[in-house]
Chains A and B, each alone.
Chain A
Amino acid sequence: MENKFKLQLTDIVVAILMIIPWSIHGGSTSTDKLSGSVDLTILQFWLYRITISGDERRVEFLTGRGDVLYGFFFVFATILFTYVAIIRIWRAISYFLSDKTLTRIYLLKRNLTFSKDDSDIEINRELNTASTAAALLFSTIFMVLTSLFAYRDVFQNAYDVQGVEWGKIVDGTLLIKYFFPTGTSITSLYPIAIVLLLVGMTYEASSDRYAFVNSIGNFIRFGIIGLFVVISIFPLIWVLIVSVNEQRTIQAGFPLWPLDPTRKLNFDSYERFFHFTGSWMAWGYFIFSGLVGFLIYHQLNNSGKWQDRIQGFIYDKISNKFGSNRNTSLIFLIMMLVEFTAFITSISMIVTQENFLGLPPGGFTWTLIDSTGSVRHIGNWFIVTTIICTGVSVYGLIMACLSAYALSRFNFPAKNGFISVVLGTQMFPGIILLLPLLVMWNELKLTNSIFGLTLAYATFAVPFSTFMMKGYFDSIPKDLEEAAMVDGSTHLGAFTRVILPISLPGLASTFLFSFLTGYTEYLLALTLYQAPEPEYTISLALINVFRTDLQYYYFPDLALFSIIVALPILLIFVYLQKFLIAGLASGGIKG
């Protein structure tokens, strides 16, 4: 068996995949009615200006250093993403088409005995891979769909300046709106979803076996069935909850723009998305949500038999409808083409720019002089943010580990109620806590302090981390710590010597989660932390420095800073990613 702890190319690839979309939040467009020009950014990485004078439409690329690097970054990510998706899907397809699998399926059909031997482990592993691929694909499809919709929006508005509704000037202030918050949500949530999926990708194989013995087609087997099982695990549910509660889009309009802060931009965008794609998509989404709801119920009541029957019924129906291989390959081809088109487009965008290899002058300093000549305390922002994020992560991890272990292993009164409350906190939009937190923090004299902000972030990080770690601890057999206790260890010793080392993947992802919560958070920082420019957090700086000083975002600077912001996280990911590949706990227990 290969050594899973060696840093491999794929580790780096997955790490990059996980971090890239994080920094690519939405896009925007701005219109200058006076000069009749429209500036466009798509996913904030390429920028060009369309000027309309009379009948002439002139497209101008705004060159700079940051945006070009940013573009490369994105192209690189696209290549790697496509590579990984293809490899994973190819492996899954070839596995499911191999003679060995067919034989195995045949045997399973014959005697219906699911003995636990090596080939079962193999099937399980391949199914994990397949599910990962399915999850990646799912994200891609959604990203591509939403991006396409965004393209359409942008271009429609670009060529119909009179009809622009969301780039108008009100009282002399330029009104900028994120045009596709759904895209934003998905791109920003997708990485954490992948992290969670990789970590939590341990599910019972019985339902897949059910799929085998019912001779369900290949696509269905690793696509729908994989997804079906995958979405039944917590992470994706969480992602769905968050995407509905997404408030980042509201942050963008609050409080600096004359936009109604209570306006549900994300619902608005869903509505527009469904309007564009037709009602079937809305229906699909509706049914999908229903399924997720059902699966939550199913997960919570795993003992029932009728749920199994319904699941079996669904599998049967699916297997009869779309079992053929030809459909499968066609669907993949189309998917790949869409992906490839996006890739080619971005390449052409990059290479047609002048000075596309331009690098920032002056080298590295703690401060940066931006295009307007102002000194920016980038180093300070990093230090402040790192202190806060490390504080949140360490505190969150310690609290989460202890409480999650207790929840996972011990029985005490009101345990299930407590778990429900912990999960329940995730259902509420964070924004509703804003005002209470502000009042409380004011009373406690915690506002405008790094400690106060850390504590505020921890209120969000701890419940989620607890839930995540509980899931991880649940997946570790109790036998292991019992063996350690029999070997002469105390219960605490068994926890620290055996359970914690095995939980490294879970710990790593929980740490990252907490870290990133702080790293990307803006709204709480804006509300609870009024600091002078040198003490900004990164997110405050990103919005406040590079936007309010100028009439609109000065994109080259912003883009450059975005890369600087993304790099440390990327490095952390590359290092910690090796722990994220599941399988650390495999082997120690029965196969």
Chain B
Amino acid sequence: MQVLLQEASRGDIMTRIQLENLTKRFGQENAVSTLNLDIHDGEFLVLVGPSGCGKSTTLRMIAGLETPTSGSIIFDDRAVTHLPPRERNIGMVFQSYALYPHMTIRENLAFGLRLKGMDRRTIIEKVEETAGILGLAEHLDKKPAQLSGGQRQRVALGRAIIRNPSCFLFDEPLSNLDAKLRVQMRAEIQRIQKRTGITSIYVTHDQVEAMSMANRISVMSKGIIQQVGSPTEVYLRPDNKFVASFIGSPEMNIMEGTLIEKDGKVIVETDIGTREINDKLFDVKDRVGKKVYLGMRPEHLEISKAGTFTVRPDVIEPLGSDTFLYADTPNGLLAIRHKGLLTESYIEENPEIQLKIGEGDLHLFDYETELSLRI
């Protein structure tokens, strides 16, 4: 770690990555379309999105494993768009680990250094050190097949770290691990990234991973970046309906509504009730009479006698600290996250409940463009 930290702190391995109008076409299909993204020095950026959204393709283009159809990739001031992977000085962790099965862990770790032409003694030193950091010291002479999934993942991580890359690329590295290991490795990756300060791009479809690890999240869908921002930003101020429903668990409740004006105030009218809209927060003045999407996160809905929405909950899921309530509405399932424990009998006792929500917690999206109406 000492050596790694020293080298990292020199600052010369920090890299700013710029993607300019990056496009990748497979046949007629656009996997990634005119993508612009600026990844800062030492940042941990997570590319998140459903499968097939182009996030892995983007990462592979940054790695040099795919050639962009058009656009450019710039590392600091160096255009690397058409450079092969070996000239980009990157460390990549694959979903499948991709350890070399015919080599021992030691050889796996040393592979990149040997290719660099480093002298034997330094290689041995660095391998021992990296193995020490990752708790692999006693497994160095084993073959990958003899290790558990978590250990293999550590080796893959070690293989990326040991080369002091200018950036780390993670391609869904945790999706093959079980839930417990995933949490552990998540922390480990974060720890290593923080200590080394190496710019990292992390691809995942798991929004929990994205929220918990990222400095910034880039939500992608259909080859287009929907929103880039810090986890809180993306969570609290989603730019459009897709981001709103993708980020957050359980999903944000989204229902159709109509804006009407009553007593000089703008009100959204839905199947389950109405809610006054603060026109200082939302651009609703010119939209009276138009349809909109109303979004409410389950955790922001509060059961209250003073509530303006009325629903009939039919399923209850007590989780201990929280309780999930689900209600059937004409617009689909509505989820409510109640802080505190409710028992099974709650539904019978309260066949109908009122819900309220703070005006800042509301989300409104245009019915056609699906863009947020927040000012």
Which positions in A face B, CB cutoff 8 Å? 1, 116-117, 477, 479-480, 482-491, 493, 497-498, 501-502, 504, 583-591
Those of B73-98 within 8 Å (CB) of chain A? 84-86, 90-92, 94-98
Instruction: List chain A residues, Cβ under 8 A from B116.
Output: 488
Contacts of B178 in A (CB 8 A): 117
Check A587/B144 contact, CB under 8 A, given A483-B92, A488-B116.
yes
Residues of chain A within 8 A of B111, CB atoms compared? 484, 487, 497
Cβ–Cβ < 8 Å partners of A489 in chain B: 86, 115
Query: What are the residues of chain A within 8 A of B96 when measuring CB–CB?
Result: 477, 479, 589-590
B24 to nearest A CB, angstroms? 15
A590 touches B97 (CB 8 A): yes
3 closest A-B pairs (Cβ-Cβ)?
A587-B145, A588-B101, A479-B98
25 residue pairs A–B, Cβ–Cβ below 8 Å = A1-B145, A1-B146, A116-B176, A479-B98, A480-B98, A482-B85, A482-B94, A482-B98, A485-B65, A486-B85, A486-B90, A486-B92, A487-B159, A488-B115, A489-B86, A491-B84, A501-B102, A502-B100, A586-B145, A587-B99, A587-B144, A587-B146, A587-B147, A588-B102, A589-B96
Shortest Cβ distance from A485 into B: residue: B85
B98's contact among A117, A477, A490, by CB below 8 Å, is which? A477
Contact with A along B96-112 (1 / 0, CB 8 A): 11111110000000011
Q: In angstroms, how far is the closest chain A Cβ from the Cβ of B251?
A: 22
Report the separation of the CA atoms of residues A487 and B115 in the bound assembly, to the nearest whole angstrom.
Answer: 8
Give bound CA distance, A488 to B85, whole Å: 7
What 0/1 readout, one digit per residue, does chain B (104-137) give for beta carbons within 8 Å of chain A?
A: 0000000110011000000000000000000000
Contacts of B94 in A (CB 8 A): 479, 482-483
Is the beta-carbon distance between A485 and B101 smaller than 8 angstroms? no
Q: Is B318 an interface residue (CB 8 A)?
A: no
Q: Which residues of A contact B101 (CB under 8 A)?
A: 480, 502, 584-589
| Chain A positions within 8 Å of B85 at CB level | 482, 485-486
Contacts A117-B178, A493-B115 known; A483 to B98 CB distance under 8 Å? Answer: yes
Contacting pair B143 A587 (CB below 8 A): yes
Which B residues touch A482, using CB under 8 A?
63, 65, 85, 92, 94, 98
A487 CA to B149 CA in the complex, in Å? 21
Q: Are A488 and B145 in contact (CB under 8 A)?
A: no
**Minimum distance in angstroms from B205 CB to a CB of chain A:** 16
Partner of B102, one of A116, A483, A502: A502
Task: Name A586's closest neighbour in chain B (CB-CB).
Answer: B145
Nearest B residue to A504 via CB reads B102
Residues of A within 8 A of B102 (CB): 498, 501-502, 504, 584, 588
Closest to B169 in A: A486
A477-B100 Cα distance, complex, nearest whole Å? 11
Q: Which residue on chain A has the smallest CB distance to residue B171?
A: A479
Complex: A501 Cα to B143 Cα, angstroms: 14
A588-B98 contact given A486-B63, A488-B163, CB 8 Å threshold: yes
Chain A: CB-nearest residue to B92: A486
Known: A587-B145, A588-B97; 4 extra A-B contacts, CB below 8 A, are A485-B86, A490-B86, A586-B101, A588-B102
* B86 nearest in chain A by CB position: A488
Min C-beta distance of A415 to chain B, whole Å? 15
What distance in Å separates the Cβ of B35 from its nearest Cβ neighbour in chain A?
Answer: 21
List the interface of chain B (C-beta within 8 A of A). 63-65, 84-86, 90-92, 94-102, 111-112, 115-116, 143-147, 149, 152, 159, 163, 169, 176, 178
Chain A hits for B112, CB < 8 A: 487-488
With A485-B86, A486-B63, A486-B85 already in contact, the answer to whether A590 and B100 are too (CB < 8 A) is no
Interfacial chain B residues near A484, Cβ < 8 Å: 100, 111
CA distance A482 to B85 in the complex (A): 9
Give chain B residues whose Cβ lies under 8 Å from the Cβ of A487.
86, 111-112, 115, 159, 163
What are the residues of chain A within 8 A of B84 when measuring CB–CB? 485, 490-491
A486 to B65, CA, bound (A): 8
A591: B residues at CB distance < 8 A: 149, 176
**Smallest beta-carbon distance A493→chain B, Å:** 7
| CA distance in complex: A479, B169 (Å) | 14
Contacts of B115 in A (CB 8 A): 487-489, 493
Residues of A within 8 A of B163 (CB): 487-488
Task: Say yes or no: A588 contacts B144, CB within 8 Å.
Answer: yes
User: Which partner residue on chain A sits nearest B162 by CB separation?
Assistant: A487
Q: Please tell me if the beta carbons of A486 and B146 are within 8 angstroms of each other in the complex.
A: no
Chain A: minimal CB distance from B201 (Å): 13
Partner of A588, one of B86, B100, B149: B100
Is A498 within 8 A of B100, CB to CB? yes
Q: State the Cβ distance, A590 to closest chain B Cβ, in Å.
A: 4
Contacts of A584 in B (CB 8 A): 101-102
Cβ–Cβ < 8 Å partners of B149 in chain A = 590-591
| Docked CA distance A502–B102 (Å) | 6
A489 and B88 CA atoms in complex are apart in Å by 11
Alpha-carbon separation in the docked complex, A491 to B86 (Å):
9
CA gap between A490 and B84 in the complex, in Å = 8
B98 lies within 8 A of A589 (CB): yes
- Nearest B residue to A502 via CB reads B102
- Which B residues are CB-close (under 8 A) to A497? 111
Q: Find the B residue at minimum CB distance from A503.
A: B102
Residues on B with beta carbons closer than 8 Å to the beta carbon of A588 = 97-102, 144-145
Give the residues in chain A near B99, CB-CB below 8 Å. 483, 587-589
Chain A min CB distance to B61 (Å): 13
From A589, which residue of chain B is reached at the shortest CB distance? B96
**Chain A, Cβ-Cβ closest to B95:** A590
A584, B101: Cα distance in complex, Å = 7
A480 to B112, CA, bound (A): 13
Measured between beta carbons, the chain A residues less than 8 angstroms from B98 are 477, 479-480, 482-483, 588-589
Name the residue among B92, B96, B149, B178 with the largest chain A CB count within 10 angstroms.
B96
Question: Which of chain B's residues have a CB closer than 8 A to the CB of A504?
Answer: 102
Residues of B with C-beta under 8 A to A501: 102
Least CB distance from A13 to B in Å reads 23
Q: Which residue of B lies closest to A481 (CB)?
A: B98
By a CB distance below 8 angstroms, the chain B residues around A486 are 63-65, 85-86, 90-92, 169
A484 CA to B85 CA, complexed, in Å: 9
- Which residues does chain B contribute within 8 Å of A590, judged by CB atoms? 95-97, 149, 176
Bound complex: CA A485 to CA B112 (Å): 9
In the assembly, what is the distance between CA of A477 and CA of B84, in Å? 20
Report the minimal beta-carbon distance from A348 to chain B, rounded to whole angstroms.
Answer: 47
Closest Cβ–Cβ distance, residue A15 to chain B (whole Å): 22
Q: Which residues of A contact B159 (CB under 8 A)?
A: 483, 487
CA distance A588 to B115 in the complex (A): 20
Residue of A nearest to B147 (CB): A587
Q: Which residues of B contact A117 (CB under 8 A)?
A: 178
Output the least CB separation between B27 and chain A (Å).
Answer: 11
Q: Which residues of B contact A586 (CB under 8 A)?
A: 101, 145
Distance between Cα atoms of A480 and B101 in the complex (Å): 9
Identify the closest chain B residue to A588 (Cβ).
Answer: B101
For the complex formed, measure the closest distance between the CB of B67 and the CB atoms of chain A, giving whole angstroms.
Answer: 13
B178 to chain A, nearest CB (A): 7
- The residue of chain A having its C-beta at the shortest distance from the C-beta of B160 within the complex is A486
Nearest chain-B residue to A491 (Cβ)? B84
- Return A504 CB to nearest CB of chain B, in Å: 8
The smallest C-beta distance from A301 to any residue of chain B, in angstroms, reads 19
Tell me the bound Cα distance from A1 to B101 in angstroms: 14
| Distance between B83 CB and nearest chain A CB, rounded to angstroms | 11
Chain A residue with minimal CB distance to B117? A488
Q: In the complex the two chains form, what is the Cα distance from A444 to B367 in whole Å?
A: 77
Q: A477: which B residues are within 8 A, CB to CB?
A: 96, 98
A591 to B159, CA, bound (A): 19
Docked Cα-Cα span, A482 to B94, in Å, equals 9
Chain A nearest Cβ from B142, distance in angstroms: 9
User: Which listed residue, B64, B97, B147, touches A589 by the CB 8 Å rule?
Assistant: B97
Q: Which of A482, A488, A501, A586 has the most CB of B within 10 A?
A: A488
Nearest CB in chain B: distance from A532 CB, A: 47
Who on chain A is nearest to B175 by CB? A590
Given the complex, which residues of A lie within 8 Å of B91, measured CB to CB?
A: 486
